[in-house]
């Protein structure tokens, strides 16, 4: 089942077929352009020449779509990717009725939502259903290899602690309001610019960054937000959107009434889409930040920058113009020499057994991991990978022990940081 698919991540889950999953997809939503866009994108996957999908969509359109879905309950898994204003409420309602939920991030955009999300996880546990968020970035190859090398002591050494001013782990993501997805121009819903419905940047994209930090620094370990996380600072700031940009990206003639309080005297819409959180995770100082620009540079797209500092080396992911906007992984040792070089070559050779074709080349001051195109699946392909993981958990009837507490830690951190930034 799919409810109110207002975000393009909903059709991306259906870009592939899955073994053991019925082709019948029941869609419940209000009528309007968002539902139409969802159908158009799913249909484009059906019509492609190579490996077309075979989903059978059945739509219910109406304002009472959630109640209708609960009453009919034609499926046992609900996909949620849309307006975040009521998403947590939909999650809780679904699990209370024994429905598994596979939700796009964020699952909570404020502290009230977080309390409701805690209740939803408790209900899911009680009713034996699985509530899980769609963390696609764990399947990006440079993030995978950065994690692998950070767990290789002869290359990375020990994870450094750092300070709030000079954190040991840094992750920054740059996103864009106007872009193309699956080869077609993305039309943003009007509410995407409303932080009360979409959520601020500090509670949205940062979920991926925080998830990667937990996943890489403390793999398969429980993170308890009540004792393992301490926020040292948080801030947020706006992106200025011009009237013409709003019209271009949404297809709407002008700002809806709910956005007018955030429009200044020059008709500029000010969106709190940018944010930074400095915090300590099990004592390690971390900085995550998200920046939203209107449009990417020529040939560019959304980008990811990441640093992990160990006692022997620094692992960096860069994705700028010098990398032709493709993520690349670099290793910068504190003390370079034959001994370190041999250790790195050996480690990469062993990893090549799992990730075929990777090699390493020397560069000034360090090394560059060469990654074959076959391992660069791309963001859209990651949705199939995370969905297959979720289906495996459904078949087993449970999530890994660390997943639920770590999801709660993630959303406690984002929603609490938003509150701190607001002050």
Closest by Cα among 419, 411, 413, 415 to 132: 411
Query: Is residue 284 over pLDDT 80?
Result: yes
Please indicate, yes or no, whether residues 333 and 207 belong to a single structural domain of this protein: yes
The enclosing domain of 143 has a CATH number of: 3.30.360.10
Looking at the fold, whether 199 and 343 belong to one and the same domain comes out as yes
Residues in the chain: 423
| pTM for this predicted structure | 0.96
| The predicted structure's pLDDT at residue 299 | 83
Domain total for the chain?
2
- Find out whether 178 and 295 touch, Cβ atoms under 8 Å: yes
Average pLDDT of the chain to the nearest whole number: 96
Query: Mind listing the pLDDT tens digit for each residue in 197-224?
Result: 999 999 999 999 999 999 999 999 999 9
Instruction: Identify whether the C-beta of residue 166 lies closer than 8 Å to the C-beta of residue 289.
Output: no
Look at residue 378 in the predicted model and tell me its pLDDT: 81
The reply to whether 393 falls in a domain is no
pLDDT for 185 equals 87
176 Cβ contact list (under 8 Å, min separation 6):
292, 293, 294, 295, 296, 301, 302
Task: Quote the CA–CA distance of 60 and 182 in Å, as a whole number.
Answer: 26
Residues 112 and 143 in one domain: no
pLDDT of 301 strictly over 90: no
Residue 320 CA to residue 174 CA, distance in Å, equals 10
- What is the C-alpha to C-alpha distance for residues 353 and 122, in angstroms, rounded to an integer? 40
Beta partners for residue 171, in sequence order: 288, 306
Write out pLDDT tens, residues 40-70.
999 999 999 999 999 999 999 999 999 999 9
Give the number of other Cβ atoms within 10 Å of residue 54's Cβ: 8
Residues 156 and 126 in one domain: no
Nearest-CA neighbor of 330 among 338, 319, 339? 319
CA atoms within 13 A on the CB side of 363: 12
Which residues, in sequence order, are CB contacts of 306 under 8 Å at separation 6+? 143, 146, 170, 171, 172, 212, 315, 316, 317
CA angle 116, 11, 187 (to 5 degrees): 95
CATH number of the domain within which 19 lies:
3.40.50.720
The pLDDT of residue 325: 92
- Residue 363 pLDDT grade (very low, low, confident, very high; cuts 50, 70, 90): very high
Distances (CA, A) of 2 to 60, 67, 135, 285: 10, 13, 18, 39
The predicted model gives 90-115 an average pLDDT of 98
Residues 127 and 203 in one domain: no
CA dihedral (14, 18, 24, 25) in degrees, to 10, reads -30
Residue 256 C-beta-side C-alpha neighbours within 13 Å: 11
CA-wise closest residue to 27 among 55, 53, 48: 55
One domain for residues 104 and 142: no
Q: Are 308 and 295 in contact (CB under 8 A)?
A: no
Q: Is the same domain home to 302 and 329?
A: yes
| Domain encompassing residue 35 | 2-134
82, part of any domain: yes
22 and 157 within one domain: no
Q: What angle do CA 308, 309, 313 make, to 5 degrees?
A: 115
Same-domain pairing of 199 and 163: yes
Predicted confidence (pLDDT) per residue in 158-202, tens digit: 999 999 999 999 999 999 999 988 788 889 999 999 999 999 999
Residue 406 lies in a domain: no
Q: Would residue 403 count as lying in a domain?
A: no
Q: Measure the CA–CA gap between 159 and 80, rounded to whole angstroms.
A: 36
């Amino acid at each position: 089942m799919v409810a109110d698919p207002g975000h393009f991540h909903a059709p991306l889950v259906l870009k592939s077929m899955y073994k053991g999953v019925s082709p019948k997809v029941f869609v419940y939503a209000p009528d309007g352009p968002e539902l139409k866009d969802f159908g158009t994108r799913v249909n484009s996957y059906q019509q492609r020449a190579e490996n077309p999908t075979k989903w059978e969509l059945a739509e219910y359109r109406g304002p009472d779509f959630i109640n209708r879905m609960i009453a009919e309950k034609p499926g046992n898994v609900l996909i949620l990717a849309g307006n975040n204003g009521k998403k947590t409420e939909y999650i809780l309602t679904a699990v209370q009725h024994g429905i598994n939920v596979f939700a796009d991030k964020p699952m909570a955009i404020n502290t009230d939502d977080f309390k409701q999300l805690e209740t939803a996880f408790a209900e899911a546990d009680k009713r034996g259903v699985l509530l899980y968020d769609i963390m696609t970035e764990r399947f990006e190859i440079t993030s995978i290899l950065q994690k692998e090398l950070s767990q290789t002591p002869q290359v990375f050494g020990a994870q450094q602690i750092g300070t709030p001013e000079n954190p040991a782990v840094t992750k920054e993501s740059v996103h864009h309001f106007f872009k193309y997805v699956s080869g077609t121009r993305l039309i943003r819903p009007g509410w995407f610019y409303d932080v009360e419905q979409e959520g601020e940047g500090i509670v949205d994209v940062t979920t991926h960054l925080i998830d990667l930090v937990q996943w890489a620094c403390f793999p398969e370990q429980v993170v308890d937000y009540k004792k393992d996380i301490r926020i040292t600072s948080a801030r947020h700031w706006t992106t200025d959107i011009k009237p013409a940009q709003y019209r271009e990206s949404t297809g709407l003639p002008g700002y809806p009434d709910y956005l007018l309080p955030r429009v200044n005297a020059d008709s500029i819409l000010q969106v709190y889409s940018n944010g930074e959180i400095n915090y300590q995770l099990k004592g390690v100082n971390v900085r995550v930040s998200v920046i939203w620009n209107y449009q990417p540079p020529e040939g560019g797209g959304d980008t990811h920058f990441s640093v992990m500092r160990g006692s022997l080396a620094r692992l960096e992911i860069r994705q700028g113009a010098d990398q032709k906007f493709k993520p690349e992984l670099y290793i910068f040792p504190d003390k370079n020499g034959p001994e370190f070089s041999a250790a790195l070559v050996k480690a990469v050779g062993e990893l090549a057994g799992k990730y075929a074709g990777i090699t390493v080349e020397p560069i000034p001051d360090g090394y560059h991991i060469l990654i074959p195109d076959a391992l660069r699946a791309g963001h859209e392909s990651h949705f199939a990978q995370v969905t297959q993981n979720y289906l495996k958990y459904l078949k087993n009837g449970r999530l890994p022990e660390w997943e639920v507490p770590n999801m709660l830690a993630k959303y406690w951190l984002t929603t609490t940081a938003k509150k701190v930034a607001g002050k």
